[in-house]
Structure 1
């Protein structure tokens, strides 16, 4: 940083023709400019200026050094101006990671967000893989459940609950289960996590999931396909409430055993704690927290 300071003082003095004029442009004293240039000359081992009581002119070595130095200082000033613009207004690219079902939460919010912040570019990854936020260069990630990474800061966005649903047509044909044990006589559409290969457990209050018998000929690793199958009357699904809310509101899907299910989770937005919170990320966090459709 001291070398950069000396380089800037040298270029401004060469352009202004005096230490006093350079000092006025830089907002420092003339002696400070003179000392910075002197330290630069000492480190380079050459004299950059011919000095007299009335004038300041470049030496042959100084003229050669100035040709390169002025471009460096100009690029530094342009970089500072660009950074200042970034820090003063929300703009730039945000790289974000969400679980596969996260698009159900985010996509309804995108029209409003992009209209309000047109200079922010969102690079979105919807994947159940547990990404390395810092190592892979993500600006923020959405996660459910607990996390234990002291390098990350977090903002809790709200909670969700699991629900058991099927189409009205399915219930009219097969009847509605009145207790978890009744599921043994129903077609259960199961979900397999693509990352771990494990099946999503169906959790009911007071019931050991290991003793719960679930029958079904269809297993999915895609939530949309699973929901679509349930809408077509192929069976029951056990899913987060927000993922099927629109179909519950329309009556296309109907809940069962609601009073037996309290299992759920919390969503939080995480971001690297060792970085300055840029305006583009700050407004995204605030917008998501304000508009996301989750129970608080």
Structure 2
């Protein structure tokens, strides 16, 4: 029984090689084993689990759903094992690769400027950052850390609050000179409002007037699926928009954009979290990067 458990890490490494190579023979060449030896390892895993992990024909090999699940878990376990051994060998100095997934605009404006200081502090860690508005599957092993905005869905992932951001209604001086400046939220009915294309639980912009919070529907001739595009449109004088403060801090300071309707701003805040696979097996390289981001982003 103990021998079986001791062999499992080796079995996992063989299975991952098969999954990545796409064939038993290619995996065998990579591992310097015979194809029959690789086949016996896969068969041993399937017998132990009681499920089929691979579907093999004379020409193709594909993973079953159970094989995909086992492969993801095996990659994560092997990475954690490598991290543990490396950290111990380096007397606790975190080493290895950390993959971070962040939204395009927030990553470019907030996360990326912090990474130089992080790698200077931890020269043994290599950070790979993927900027995309698609949500990466952290649980499935596509990223080690995901940066998430707003309420979090139920998940076995661990979440660490990094900060928060507010939103501000803004426009360029050129647009206001041409179209006038709204003094109350209702005035937006006479303006070109630039909004997001994705659906929200309450469509429109929130305001607070006479002690009452409400959502004001807005209309316009341009919309976008990300804040960075809306800011560019506003800078070009296309209309009025409402975006996260991290998008517009520099433009507000330089006067390229002007805040509007601030007495009616409900000061709603959106939480920013890092999500990751936590627990005792959490790699040190992931922990120190999450700690660093929380330290530098505190206050949002």
TM-score range, shorter chain: 0.5 to 0.7
2:150 is equivalent to residue 145 of structure 1: yes
SS of structure 1 residue aligned to 2:130: strand
Q: Which of 239, 246, 250 is the matching residue for 2:254?
A: 250
Cα gap change, 1:202/1:113 in structure 2, threshold over 3 Å: closer, same or farther?
same
After superposition, residues 56-71 of structure 1 pair within 5 angstroms as none
Distance, in Å, in 1 between the alignment partners of 2:293 and 2:83 is 30
Gaps of 5+ in 1: 8-77
Q: Would the alpha carbon gap of residues 258 and 134 (structure 1) be closer, same or farther in structure 2, given more than 3 Å must change?
A: same
C-alpha change, 1:129 and 1:201, in structure 2 (3 Å) is farther
Following superposition, the deviation at residue 164 of structure 1 comes to 0.2
CA distance in 2, matches of 1:186, 1:79: 56
Please tell me whether the aligned partners of residues 231 and 241 of structure 2 are also in contact (alpha carbons under 8 angstroms).
Answer: yes
Number of residue-to-residue matches in the alignment: 221
Matches within 5 A, 1:209-248: 209=215, 212-248=216-252
Q: TM-score of the superposition, structure 2-length normalised?
A: 0.64
Q: How does 1:30-109 map to 2 (within 5 A)?
A: 82=86, 84-85=88-89, 88-103=92-107, 104-109=109-114
**Partner SS for 1:88:** coil
Over 3 Å counting, the alpha-carbon distance change for 1:91 and 1:281 in structure 2 is same
- Equivalent position to 1:285, from 272, 285, 290: 290
String of CA shifts for 1:52-108, please: whole Å, max 9, x gaps: xxxxxxxxxxxxxxxxxxxxxxxxxx9985463367212211122223332122022
The CA distance in 2 between the partners of 1:128 and 1:93, in whole Å, is 22
* TM-score, normalised with respect to structure 1: 0.65
State whether residues 192 and 200 of structure 1, in contact with CA within 8 Å, keep that contact through their aligned partners in structure 2: no
Largest Rg, 1 or 2? 1
**Aligned in 2, Cα 1:79/1:153: closer, same or farther, shift over 3 Å?**
closer
What stretches of structure 1 move > 4 A for 4+ residues in a row? Answer: 4-7, 78-81, 196-200
Structure 2 counterpart of 1:202, from 197, 200, 205? 205
Q: Which runs of 5+ in 2 are unaligned?
A: 8-81
Residue 166 of structure 1 corresponds to which residue in structure 2?
A: 171
Question: CA offset at residue 192 of structure 1?
Answer: 1.6
Cα RMSD after superposing both structures: 3.1
Structure 1 residue 123 displacement after superposition: 2.2
Distance of 2:261 and 2:83 partners within structure 1: 60
Distance 2:273 2:150 in 1: 8
- Measure the CA separation in 1 of the matches of 2:6 and 2:220: 75
Q: From the superposition, tell whether residues 4 and 82 of structure 1 become closer, same or farther in structure 2 (CA, over 3 Å).
A: farther
Q: Deviations over 1:232-288 (max 9, x none)?
A: 211111101111111111111110011212222111112112452322112211211
Counterpart Cα distance in 2 of 1:175 and 1:84: 65
